[in-house]
């Protein structure tokens, strides 16, 4: 039985986009579910879009989420090299073989000539398609141009009649009329292969059994299959994935600046939540589960669950899922993720146990933390005394003044400053004065925070601020009243 071999073949043009991550994930899950191999190949022949350091970024992203490859540039394998530019010498011989067999041909048309024909076709209201002009050159004319060093490309000789077709696991049988296909360039003027040609050669020579990629390649696949047929090679199994859409009209696109994996992790999304959510963009487990570890995804993954319909990327759903993952962290894990944001907010010196207790139930993404706790580091001392009015707590400026006058000397006299003592002291005071807890605690919290909505109540805020800063803020609040 043939071993399943899938591949992820990204171009190093920047951060790994969500669509690319999903392509890698599905190829990885399918290979592992079927006891196969997952291959990483770097397709770097587009030197104009090449970004320095992007290859290392691809490695880091895949490793970060736990998708380790069985073969690739940095781990080797029997089918290397695994970087396309390092394979450049293998493509031309295949193209020349096709030329000898009449399945491809040298094209010497200049860019200017092609542009003129394109403009003429547009003027006639036609879609431009190369007219096979150079296919009809004699062998002597071709050799003369080659000897003279005239620049050329090698074009695929698409049949002028018949159909090109393939069967896709998701989309079924797809056929196109050959007369509608253009003679694709296989080798560019600089001697490098085009993406489509290199893709076919690499997939075959690396023994790829299942090609999983976005459905934007559905239109190109008939040409791919004509190449497989021309070279006498067995075709791989095709599995085209549905598009990921930003909304009903717009595709999620790296070129349009849509988010990458790095964008989300830098905002404080957990990698586990990102992978979990991306897995559900175009695949359904067949039950109502929404939470999966990577191992659970391998176990659950099935081609039958993949959809034809476009998947809408919903940031709100991802945020909800991320919040669920945050709730499941231990306090220590939460603190580890939150610490960079504590430092940014200027509160890294404060009690981490208290911070995790008040923030973990509320944070959906870690980047929310600085805004949520801004008052701890810097009180907006210009806050309005209207904040002291709260119908539910039955407070107003007058009530608040009496509370602060009563509380300040009692807190000043505490023998130590800890959460339990602060809590017990304030609650006992409320009971003694026959006040609702909220009536006592509301003015204290407003004076310390200068805002109505805060993570944590008066006791936690006081413990975080410390005795000196708490009393300073309470006295400032009293002076306003």
- Indicate which residues carry an active-site annotation: 254
Q: Of 366, 372, 371, which is closest to residue 273 (Cα–Cα)?
A: 366
Q: How far apart are alpha carbons 416 and 446 in whole angstroms? A: 23
Instruction: Write the DSSP string, 42-95.
Output: B----TTT--TTHHHHHHHHHHHHT---SBBTTTB-TT---BGGGGGGGHHHHH
Cα Rg of the chain (Å, integer)? 32
Q: Helix 352-359 to helix 458-480 angle, to the nearest 10 degrees?
A: 90
- For residue 220, the tally of other CB atoms under 10 A from its CB is 15
Whether the CB-CB separation of 199 and 9 falls below 8 Å is answered with yes
The length of the chain is: 481
Whether the CB-CB separation of 369 and 338 falls below 8 Å is answered with yes
Q: Parallel, antiparallel, or unpaired for β 153-156 and 185-187?
A: antiparallel
Q: How far apart are alpha carbons 265 and 273 in whole angstroms? A: 10
- For residue 384, the tally of other CB atoms under 10 A from its CB is 10
Structure tokens at 222: 């008939």
Q: Of 473, 470, 467, 463, which is closest to residue 350 (Cα–Cα)?
A: 463
How far CA 450 is from CA of 91, 280, 387, 459, in Å, comes to: 68, 42, 8, 15
User: What is residue 302's DSSP assignment?
Assistant: -
- Angle among Cα 425, 429, 435 to the nearest 5 degrees reads 140
């Amino acid at each position: 039985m043939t071993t399943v071999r899938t591949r992820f073949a990204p171009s190093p043009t920047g951060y790994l986009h969500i669509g690319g991550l999903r392509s890698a994930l599905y190829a990885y899950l399918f290979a592992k579910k079927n006891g196969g191999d997952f291959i990483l190949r770097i397709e770097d022949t587009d030197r104009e879009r090449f970004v320095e350091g992007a290859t290392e970024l691809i490695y880091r992203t895949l490793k970060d989420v736990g998708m380790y490859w069985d073969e690739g540039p940095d781990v080797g394998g029997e089918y290397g090299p695994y970087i396309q530019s390092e394979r450049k010498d293998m493509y031309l011989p295949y193209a020349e073989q096709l030329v000898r067999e009449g399945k491809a041909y040298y094209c010497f048309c200049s860019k200017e000539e092609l542009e003129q024909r394109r403009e003429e076709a547009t003027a006639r209201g036609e879609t431009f398609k190369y007219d096979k002009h150079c296919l009809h050159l004699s062998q002597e004319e071709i050799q003369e141009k080659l000897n003279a060093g005239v620049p050329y490309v090698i074009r695929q000789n698409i049949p002028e009649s018949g159909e090109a077709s393939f069967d896709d696991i998701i989309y079924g049988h797809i056929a196109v009329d050959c007369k509608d296909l253009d003679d694709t360039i296989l080798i560019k003027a600089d001697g490098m292969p085009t993406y489509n040609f290199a893709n076919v050669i690499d997939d075959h020579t690396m023994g790829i059994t299942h090609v999983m990629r976005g459905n934007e390649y559905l239109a190109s696949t008939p040409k791919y299959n004509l190449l497989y047929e021309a070279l006498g090679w067995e075709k791989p199994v095709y599995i085209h994935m549905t598009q990921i859409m930003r909304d009903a009209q717009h595709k999620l696109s790296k070129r349009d600046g849509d988010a990458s994996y790095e964008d989300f992790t830098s905002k404080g999304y957990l990698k586990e939540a990102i992978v979990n959510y991306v897995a559900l963009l175009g695949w359904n487990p067949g039950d109502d589960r929404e939470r999966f570890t990577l191992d659970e995804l391998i176990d659950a993954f099935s081609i039958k669950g993949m959809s034809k319909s476009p998947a809408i990327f919903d940031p709100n759903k991802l945020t909800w899922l991320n919040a669920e993952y945050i709730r499941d962290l231990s306090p220590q894990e939460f603190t580890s993720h939150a610490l960079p944001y504590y430092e940014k907010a200027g509160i890294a010196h404060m009690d981490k146990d208290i911070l995790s207790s008040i923030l973990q139930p509320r944070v959906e993404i870690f980047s929310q933390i600085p805004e949520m706790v801004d008052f701890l580091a810097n009180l907006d001392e210009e806050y309005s005394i209207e904040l002291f009015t709260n119908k539910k707590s039955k407070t107003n400026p007058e009530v608040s003044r009496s509370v602060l006058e009563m509380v300040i000397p009692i807190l000043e006299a505490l023998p130590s400053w800890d959460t339990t003592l602060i809590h017990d002291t304030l609650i006992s005071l409320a009971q003694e004065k026959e006040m609702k807890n909220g009536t006592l605690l509301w003015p204290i919290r407003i004076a310390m925070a200068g805002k109505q909505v805060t993570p944590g109540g008066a006791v936690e805020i006081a413990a975080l601020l410390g005795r000196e800063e708490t009393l300073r803020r309470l006295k400032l609040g009293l002076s306003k009243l």
